[in-house]
Amino acid sequence: MAQDLFREAFNISVKYLSYRQRTEEEVLNYLKKRDYTQEVMFKVIDRLREVNYIDDNKYAVNYINTAMIKQNKGIDLIKKELLEKGIKEKIISTHLYLYPIKKELEFAKNIAINYFFARKECPLNQLKSKIYTKLLVRGFSKESIKAALQNLDQDREINTIIEEQQERYQMDATALAKKYYEKYSKKENNEYKIKEKIYGQLIRKGYDYDLSKRIVEIISGG
């Protein structure tokens, strides 16, 4: 009877593994849901290891390479996802040499540059804020994010585009400020409060400090 249960559990595990590579913990959780005893489950895991159907070291290596090259994920997110899949921290640390900090920084810079060119009509501060969030969510370190944003400031082509678009940025910001002025002046008589609200809105939209201040003063008559 015990041997029959082992054979049954082993066979369904092999089928489960046929769809894609799995970690030991994923297989254990799969068997737990089917109410196999611990003795049977661990015996199955041992046998799967023996025949090389599961290998957490190989899983970690493949996962890191795929997440790094094909999915452009940062180191922190890769660590988090591997831990969630049951890979031990020691195994993860052993294989993170595959993803050096230098490589993460390179990916972060490329993502930032590509994002800028895809949305270059937006104010730079707004773009930087969105790039920061995008990279943070994808698991890049704050050091890599900071370097990627600094790289935008130093990129000659990007600076040329920003300079060429300054007039349009100002026109867009002015139109937006006028819209807010009309809105707030209907409910508020205090000119100072109106100006502060408009200024806050422009900053939130990504327009820089000096431009926002200048436009608010112009549309409010100084």
Q: Where are the domains of the chain?
A: 2-50, 56-98, 101-164, 166-219
* CATH tag for 101-164 (out of 1.10.287, 1.10.10, 3.40.50, 1.10.3470): 1.10.10
The fold for domain 2-50 equals Arc Repressor Mutant, subunit A (1.10.10)
Q: What is the pLDDT of residue 2?
A: 67
Q: What is the pLDDT of residue 48?
A: 97
Buried b (16+ CB within 10 A) or exposed e, 170-184: eebbbebbeebbeeb
Instruction: Determine the CATH number of domain 56-98.
Output: 1.10.10
| Global pTM value | 0.77
Per-residue pLDDT tens for 174-193? 888 888 888 888 887 788 88
If we measure between CA atoms, which residue out of 55, 36, 44 comes closest to residue 13?
Answer: 44
Is it the case that residue 1 has pLDDT exceeding 70?
no
* Of 20 and 165, the one with more pLDDT: 20
For CA atoms 82, 85, 88, 91, the dihedral sign is: negative
Same fold: 2-50 with 101-164: yes
Angle 205-120-76 from CA coordinates, rounded to 5°? 80
The fold for domain 166-219 equals Arc Repressor Mutant, subunit A (1.10.10)
Per-residue pLDDT tens for 10-62? 999 999 999 999 999 999 999 999 999 999 999 999 999 999 999 999 999 99
